[in-house]
Amino acid sequence: MSVRPHPVKLYYVEPMFRHDQPQAGRYRQFHQFGIETIGDASESVDAELIFLAYKLLDSLNLEGYNLHINSIGDSSCRPAYIKALKEYYKNKIKNVCGQCKNRIKTNVLRMLDCKEEECKEIAKEAPQTVDFLDEACHAHFKHVLEFLDEAKVPYIMNSHLVRGLDYYTRTVFEFVPEENAASQATIIGGGRYDRLIDLLGGSKTAAAGWSMGLERVILALKEKGVAVPEIGPKPKIFLAQLGEAAKRKSLLLFESFRKAGIEAKSSLGRDSIKSQLRIANRLEVKFTLIFGQKEALDGTIILREMDSGVQETIPVEKIVEEVKKRLKHD
Ligand SMILES: [Zn+2]
Ligand SMILES: [Zn+2]
């Protein structure tokens, strides 16, 4: 990957497996969609990734999520922050939950986003990461926010938003439901991880990305009663056929439409013209091409305009051009 032109932009949709005992409402195996930009440290990458997440939720008609954002600095400025945080928690340690009593040694950052009431209360007054950013990290964060302002992406600065692992740097963000920000209901989470690749033994390579739990998205769509939007371009034509010869010739014809960039659908498994026209109607295509036994012999095809029901017979070698022309006048 290091020889590809940077940044390398990747996406994945994969099953994932939780190692920990899954909490209530979480599955051990789940599916995740994610995008990553590797090899670019600039703030425009962070903003672009966040913008894409924002637009994705928008295109799914999923409303009611707020973007929370924070910067957790990097290895040059974070140690001072960790020190201040430990200092802050030192004389409050008897009041935090059992897990956090260990976290002060192992992972003090995670004390900030602990979901226990007593810990949330104490975290309110804790020192904030942004006050400890050095000049470079501060400028980076400022520029990310400026990009978001420009792109009109609303955000909430959340100083309790952290990541517990050392490879995370600078920007962290999450999209959380506005009515239940404290819950585990984050729908998209991500950030910058400039140290991951070199910690794994690679050369130092900046990277950022986010991921989204698909089961959670499906649940949210159901809860909110949002219909799943149509994905991809709508088909423009339907190719109906009748008889073996026509069916066989349909494959190549279908391919020539695909090559011409015209979205076509067909149902080669069906033999009745009536049921094929019914599908064509449901797909709301503009034209249906009817390739019957006679046409397959003559080298012609019937072009039916679905709205008017008007049919014309056209030489099959001209049909792609003809459809192209008529779609253009649309
Ligand atoms: Zn820094
Ligand atoms: Zn706690």
| Cα radius of gyration (the chain) | 28
* Ligand of minimum distance to the alpha carbon of 132: 1
CA-CA-CA-CA dihedral for 161, 167, 171, 176, to nearest 10: -40
pLDDT tens-digit profile, the chain (330 residues):
778 888 999 999 999 988 776 666 667 888 999 999 999 999 999 999 999 999 999 988 888 999 999 999 999 999 999 999 999 999 999 999 999 999 999 889 989 988 889 999 999 999 999 999 999 999 999 999 999 999 999 999 999 898 878 889 999 999 999 876 555 678 999 999 999 999 999 999 999 999 999 998 998 899 888 887 667 778 899 999 999 989 888 888 889 999 999 989 988 888 898 999 999 999 999 999 999 999 999 999 999 999 999 999 999 999 999 999 998 866
Task: Write the DSSP assignment of 5-54 as a string of letters.
Answer: PSSEEEEEEEEEE--SPPPTT--SEEEEEEEEEES--SHHHHHHHHHHHH
Whether cis (ω within 30° of 0) applies to the bond prior to 154 is no
* Ligand of minimum distance to the alpha carbon of 135: 1
- Taking the centre of ligand 2 as the mean of its atom positions, its distance from the CA of residue 311, in whole angstroms, is 72
- Taking the centre of ligand 2 as the mean of its atom positions, its distance from the CA of residue 54, in whole angstroms, is 30
pLDDT at residue number 181: 56
- Taking the centre of ligand 1 as the mean of its atom positions, its distance from the CA of residue 205, in whole angstroms, is 16
Mean pLDDT across the chain, nearest whole number? 90
- Taking the centre of ligand 1 as the mean of its atom positions, its distance from the CA of residue 130, in whole angstroms, is 10
Is residue 168 assigned to a domain? Answer: yes
- Taking the centre of ligand 1 as the mean of its atom positions, its distance from the CA of residue 137, in whole angstroms, is 4
Is residue 158 assigned to a domain? Answer: yes
- Name the domain boundary from 223, 258, 280: 223
d(CA 143, CA 178) in angstroms, rounded, equals 25
pLDDT at residue number 182: 55
* Ligand of minimum distance to the alpha carbon of 123: 2
C-alpha closest to that of 223 among 234, 232, 215, 231? 215
Asked if 195 and 293 sit in the same domain, the reply is no
What range defines the domain where residue 276 resides?
237-325
- Taking the centre of ligand 2 as the mean of its atom positions, its distance from the CA of residue 97, in whole angstroms, is 4
Is residue 46 assigned to a domain? Answer: yes
- Taking the centre of ligand 1 as the mean of its atom positions, its distance from the CA of residue 45, in whole angstroms, is 18
Asked if 166 and 61 sit in the same domain, the reply is yes
pLDDT at residue number 228: 76
Domain count, the chain: 2
d(CA 283, CA 101) in angstroms, rounded, equals 60
pTM above the 0.85 mark? no
Asked if 311 and 257 sit in the same domain, the reply is yes
Asked if 163 and 210 sit in the same domain, the reply is yes
* Ligand of minimum distance to the alpha carbon of 107: 2
- Taking the centre of ligand 1 as the mean of its atom positions, its distance from the CA of residue 136, in whole angstroms, is 6
* Ligand of minimum distance to the alpha carbon of 140: 1
What are residue 52's DSSP bridge partners?
none
- Taking the centre of ligand 2 as the mean of its atom positions, its distance from the CA of residue 168, in whole angstroms, is 21
Asked if 199 and 307 sit in the same domain, the reply is no
167 is in an annotated binding site: yes
Is residue 66 assigned to a domain? Answer: yes
- Name the domain boundary from 223, 258, 290: 223
* Ligand of minimum distance to the alpha carbon of 136: 1
168 is in an annotated binding site: yes
Q: By CB neighbour count within 10 A (0-12 exposed, 13-18 middle, 19+ buried), where does 15 fall?
A: exposed
Helix axes 244-259, 319-328, angle to 10 degrees: 50
Handedness of CA 218, 224, 227, 228 (dihedral sign): negative
- Taking the centre of ligand 2 as the mean of its atom positions, its distance from the CA of residue 263, in whole angstroms, is 54
Cβ-contact 292, 310 below 8 angstroms: no
pLDDT at residue number 224: 85
d(CA 79, CA 71) in angstroms, rounded, equals 14
DSSP 282: H
Asked if 244 and 272 sit in the same domain, the reply is yes
CATH of the domain at 216: 3.30.930.10
- Taking the centre of ligand 1 as the mean of its atom positions, its distance from the CA of residue 178, in whole angstroms, is 30
Asked if 201 and 241 sit in the same domain, the reply is no
Phi, psi dihedral angles at 169 (to 5 degrees): -135, 150
C-alpha closest to that of 52 among 185, 140, 147? 147
Asked if 66 and 166 sit in the same domain, the reply is yes
